[in-house]
Structure 1
Amino acid sequence: MPRPPIATPDKIRSTVLTMLAEAHDVAPATSERFRRIVSVRKLMDRLGGGNPATVGRALNEIESEIVISGLANAAIPDIPTDIAVQMRGLWQSAVSAQLDDVLKLKAQARQSIDEADASVKDAQLRNEMLREELAALRAQLASRDAELAQTRAELSTGHAQFAALQGVYDEVQIELQALRQQSDTTARVQAKELASAQERYEGLSKQLLQETAHQRQSIKQDQERISSQLKFAERRIAALEDGLAHAQAEAASEHGKCLTAVSEANTLKAINSSQRMQLDELIRATLAKAPAPKQRAPSAPAATSKRAAPRRKPAK
């Protein structure tokens, strides 16, 4: 079995009180008087051994209770008994008041400790909340980074589309210039054909007038032959009128072709204007989303622009 300790707290307390009683000074007023009566060496000699550190700590606690806290009566030597009793009563009242203050301070200290513990718990909770908010913010930042990467990719695609549309625009301009030249050539040819038809019409008109005059002269000169050739002359006039009508129809057809060519040219002009407006809107929208590219991308193949450009039917 283990050996029981020599200097227990209760044994140390009883020994100290015994030493104070033997010195006829149970409650010394000061720490110096307490140390003169009781010391670690004297206490260990009275106990017959013990750990100096343990004895010293116990002695300090007893000194705090007796001297500082004032739990015992204070002995005042060389003073009459009745005055000493009165002074002892006053001293006990003062010590009791001081002890109440000490208890209040201890209660306040405990309350401060509890409040500090509550503050620590609140700080830990706030820390957890801040960590959760930080994780949420990091997730939002990652999402925004993904959106930024997607926006950059879309911007690169927009630049490529702009370069392709620029190539298509150049091809459309070249084709439009060719169509304008073709329209001018067609208009000149139709004007020449119209002038030729008008000249043929005037020639036929003159020829008809000449033949009519010749017939009139022939009628005057040869009354008998007029009667026999009347039907022939009427058929001849009908044939000439048919030729005149055919010539007029050809002239009207040529005039209609000219009007059709002019209408197609106007349609091409309207299409060109519409394409220019669409291209300007697309350029403005692209420039509004991002700054203009520093380097111009290569133009798209000519085959793409030809597929995108509207096809014009050749004039008949």
Structure 2
Amino acid sequence: MARPAAVTADQIRATVLAMLAEAGDAAPTASASPPSPASPAVPAAPVTRERFRRAVSVRRLRARLGAGDPALLSRALNDLEAELVQAGMADIALPGLPVAIAEQMRALWAAAVGVQLDDVVRLQQHARQAAAEADTARHDADVRSEMLRLELGELRERLTARDAELIELRASSRHATERAQTLSADAAALQARLDTARDTLEALRHTHTKELADVRTRYDGLSKRLLQETEHQRHALAAERERLTTQLADAQTRLTALEGLRERLLDELATGRDAHRQAAAEAAALATVVAEQRHALQALQALQALPAAHATQSAVQKQPARHKPPRHVSSGHAAAVAAAPRPGSRSSRSRKDPSS
């Protein structure tokens, strides 16, 4: 259901005529509607465009009515202005002019008004075109507004995310601030400990300097004492060196004598070794001779055992004469006996002496 207009066209017309009457202007009676009993009386002066605009405005009309749309009031005022101004110009009297000339002037005026009306129609068409363009622009603006609204939504989402990040960063900053305060307290405690350690170090350094001075004094005394003892030891060492040099010369002499004795003993030892080797060779030869003689003795005993057995068997029958078997001397035994030295010889004595 449409909402009824707050102000009607009759109210607007009556109010405008009243404002013109108060300003001393009057609408022409030919174009004006018959006044109602409630409408005020208007003077008979013609209405011009300047007087109408000076007496009536949208702000004054809206203030007089107490309500109304400014756009609607503006359109109504434009219509009333065109009507009242055109009616006032049509009723202008032309004194002293012939009727034909007056009619021609009115015709000329009507033609001018027609041209003006054509201009008004053209302006209306232009206004309609401008309104269509404005509608298109409004549609484009609506589309752009919708796009901007979408972008605004995205920006709001991003802003929400940024707010969440900001909250997290604020929490992190708060945590970092608390940690910084804790670290500041720890740093203050460490600074206090550092100051205490510095004081202790300074006291220890002072004590160390004092002890170092005492140690240096003792070191100087000990150094002097060490130099004196070193000097005494140097003199004693020089005397001992001279004594050892004399003893070394004596030892060198004795060593030379011992070297000669050693050479002589080595020569005798070499001679004894040669004699020992010769005795060993003779012992080996004697061992060979003894072995051969042992084999010969065993063979002889075997030969003696066989005739004894035959003699025992034949002793019952006849008694043969007993005789000794001949001794067989091997050539090796003879050579060993010939090569062996005589017991009373001089060379055997000289050979046996080194081995004994």
Q: Same fold (TM over 0.5)?
A: no
Q: Return the structure number with greater relative CO, CA threshold 8 A, min gap 6.
A: 1
TM range (shorter): 0.3 to 0.5
- Rg larger for: 2
